[in-house]
Structures are given as C-alpha cells and as structure tokens.
Amino acid sequence: MNATRKALAAIERRGALLVYPVENRAEPPSLWRELYPRSPMRWAWDQDADPRVVALWHLREQLARSREVVYSKWWRGRAMFFSQPVFEALLADLRAHDRLIADLSPEARTILDLLEEDSPISTKELRKRADLQGRWLERPWTRAMTELFARGLIVGTGEVDDATSGAFPPLAVGATRWIFEDLWVAAGEGPTDAGRALLARALPPSSAFGKHWAKVLERLR
C-alpha cells in the first residue's frame, strides 16, 4: 500500500487527524504518528530535514486536492483532515444551530460571502478581496478564518502556485456548501444517532478534539 492509500485509510479509520503532531505528543492524534508511530518528528526544512516531513507536507496538499477527505484548520488553526462521514456528521450538528451563520463576525461574514460567490480562492487573493491585507489586519483576518473553519463553513482545497509567496504557496479555500455540496445537502437533513456515534469516536469528549468541539457548540447556544 502506497503512502496515499495508507494516509486515506488512517483518516477513514480515525475520523479526524492532525497532519503533524503537537510537540510529538500522542494527543491529538496525527497522520504522522499513524504513518510513523515509532519516529519523533523534527520540524525542519534545512539540509538535515527528515525527508518524511517534507513528503508528508506534499501528501497533505495532494489529499486536500483529491477531496476524498476533508482538509481543514478546525483545531487551533492546525492542518488536519476529517473523513467525509465524520465531517458530514459534524456539519449536521452545526447546521442545527440557528446562530451558525447569523452571528458571524463582520469579517467572517464578508469572507464567507466572497467564497459563496466564487470558490475556491487562494488565501492571498481572498485577503485582497476582503480588504484585510496588511500586518495591522492580521489579527481580524486570522480570527475570521478560525471562526469559519471551526464552524465547518469553509475547507481547504490544496495550494495555489504563486511565485511571489516564497517557499510555501498560499492555501486555496472554498465554501463548504460548494466544495462538498453533497455533504452539505445531506447534513441539512439534521443530526442522526449514527452520525453522533461517529463524532463520539472521532472526537471523544475527554480528548483535545472533543473539548474543542464542545466549545464550538457552546458558542452557538
């Protein structure tokens, strides 16, 4: 089984995985630890960099572009994946709350409106269209994107080649309702017992993911 198939299988099995571990801890679960359970990760991009770190970065982009799984920055702005069934269940719970979109911050609402008109868009272009460019607007931009990812309203779709962006090309993002239209429509039918069982396994209440999920829901009540 090649790396792509192994990664997809791990995401389907676990339901939700960070791409890289946090300080090499087992919690929250990560794709790195699923693929290399006995190897600590060293985040470095110099001549001594672990080629597996670089390979996983590129694999992350391929998986996001494939749309076989859902790429998000749902937990603390960190790159992660959901399986489609788990993300559909998450969306169903979120969409059951009237405040999901109604109480978005003005910046988040502007960004969502732009993405619902045109998706996907590079984050660089999106900042320009939203009038949120510049260092002094970094905080409202980051806060708005965090809000939208946490509520499942936007997803990542890969990267956009941009020679002016240095070593790391900008992420392309899109409105969930257009990028994963089938999941969005199915989620609109409302939560199910089966879906909530999936969420309980992927986001256990006592886990870092589960605690974050509880906070997301609390803000919508």
Among candidate residues 154, 155, 156, 151, the one with its CA nearest the CA of residue 215: 151
Q: How many other β-carbons are positioned within 10 Å of the β-carbon of residue 213? A: 24
pLDDT of residue 172: 97
Mean pLDDT of the residues in the chain: 95
Which whole number is the average pLDDT over 206-215?
98
pLDDT for residue 112 is more than 80: yes
Q: 79 in helix, strand or coil?
A: strand
**Got the DSSP string for 90-148?**
HHHHHHT-THHHHT--HHHHHHHHHHHHS-SEEHHHHHHHTT--SGGGHHHHHHHHHHH
Question: In the CATH scheme, what is the code of domain 90-202?
Answer: 1.10.10.10
Over residues 147-199, the pLDDT tens digits come to 999 999 999 999 987 655 556 789 999 999 999 999 999 999 999 999 999 99
Distance from C-alpha of 184 to C-alpha of 95, rounded to nearest angstrom = 9
Which whole number is the average pLDDT over 100-127?
97
Domain spans of the chain, in order of start = 1-82, 90-202
Range in 76-85, 101-110, 154-163, 186-195 the model is least confident about: 154-163
pLDDT of residue 56: 96
Q: In this structure, what token pair is assigned to residue 103? A: 């109480």
Distance from C-alpha of 199 to C-alpha of 213, rounded to nearest angstrom = 10
Range in 32-46, 131-145, 187-201 the model is least confident about: 32-46
**Range 171-203 burial, b when 16+ CB lie within 10 A, else e:** bbbbbbbebbeebbebbeeebeeebeebbeebb
pLDDT category at 1 given cuts 50, 70, 90 is low
Q: In this structure, what token pair is assigned to residue 102? A: 């109604």
- The reported pTM is 0.95
